[in-house]
């Protein structure tokens, strides 16, 4: 069973493009994390949100609890944004999506 | 420490060997989680501690996997008689509390390769 679905699974874009990654989940949650994982690296928590919208620099995360959907947006994308982005809704524990592999070409 | 520390960073084990993976959470963090991440996949939950109590071990794939956190700080994930399918990155995460207001901090992981 897939409790968390992310789309797209892979995304390649040119530098400067606006990026959107979507996450739909079926579990009841108290919060949702967006995480970033670089190749060979650990995981960095970008956002934790339970309602509405959060912004940090060029990153924006939104969540609609009723629709069980969240999105991560990157404005003015840059090659250093290339990484795997993981959606992780939190019930008692985190449930991870499969991740979206983002590649930004210069 | 400033972050969650995991050791070793890399481990190569011969099939059948026992391994022990260590996680040093942020001081004072109550919750500690272990996850297993196979190549190209998202992390999968293994087990969860609240202080020294192991509240959920439903994700441990077999009885060869054992985790402990005897003093409510450092945790060790032990895998006995390793098999090739155990090859993965093992991630540890800690959280100050259990409520929804508390974020997670992840370690860099231990990459286990069973040959």
Q: Does B50 touch chain A (CB under 8 A)?
A: no
Q: Does B66 touch chain A (CB under 8 A)?
A: no
Token digits of residue B57: 């071990």
**What's the pLDDT score for residue A3?**
85
Highest mean pLDDT, choosing among A17-21, A42-46, B28-32, B35-39: A17-21
- Local structure of A79: helix, strand or coil: helix
Contact B14, B70 (CB under 8 A): no
| Nearest Cα residue in chain A from B32 | A93
Contact A11, A104 (CB under 8 A): no
**What's the pLDDT score for residue B100?**
57
| Nearest Cα residue in chain A from B108 | A42
- Among A30, A43, A48, the residue with its CB nearest the CB of B91 is A43
- Local structure of A80: helix, strand or coil: helix
Tell me how far CA of residue B26 lies from CA of A96, B11, B73, in angstroms.
Answer: 22, 23, 8
- As a whole number of angstroms, the longest Cα–Cα distance in chain B is 42
- Report, as an integer, the average pLDDT of A10-21: 97
């Amino acid at each position: 069973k897939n409790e968390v679905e992310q789309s797209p699974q892979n995304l390649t874009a040119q530098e400067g493009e606006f990026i959107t990654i979507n996450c739909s989940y079926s579990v009841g949650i108290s919060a949702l994390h967006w995480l970033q994982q670089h190749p060979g690296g650990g995981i960095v928590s970008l956002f934790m949100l339970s309602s509405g919208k959060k912004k940090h620099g060029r990153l924006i995360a939104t969540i609609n609890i009723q629709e069980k959907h969240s999105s991560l947006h990157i404005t003015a994308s840059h090659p250093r944004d290339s990484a795997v982005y993981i959606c992780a809704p939190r019930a008692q524990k985190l449930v991870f999506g499969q991740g979206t592999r983002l590649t930004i070409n210069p | 420490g400033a972050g969650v520390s995991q050791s070793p960073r890399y481990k190569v084990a011969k099939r059948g060997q026992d391994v022990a993976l260590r996680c040093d959470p942020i001081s004072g963090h109550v919750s500690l989680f272990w996850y297993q991440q196979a190549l190209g996949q998202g992390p999968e939950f293994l087990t969860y501690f609240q202080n020294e109590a192991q509240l959920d071990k439903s994700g441990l794939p077999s009885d060869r996997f054992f985790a402990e956190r005897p003093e409510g700080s450092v945790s060790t994930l032990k895998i006995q008689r390793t098999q090739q399918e155990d090859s993965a990155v093992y991630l540890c995460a800690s959280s100050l509390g259990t409520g929804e207001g508390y974020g997670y901090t992840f370690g860099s992981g231990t990459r286990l390769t069973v040959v």
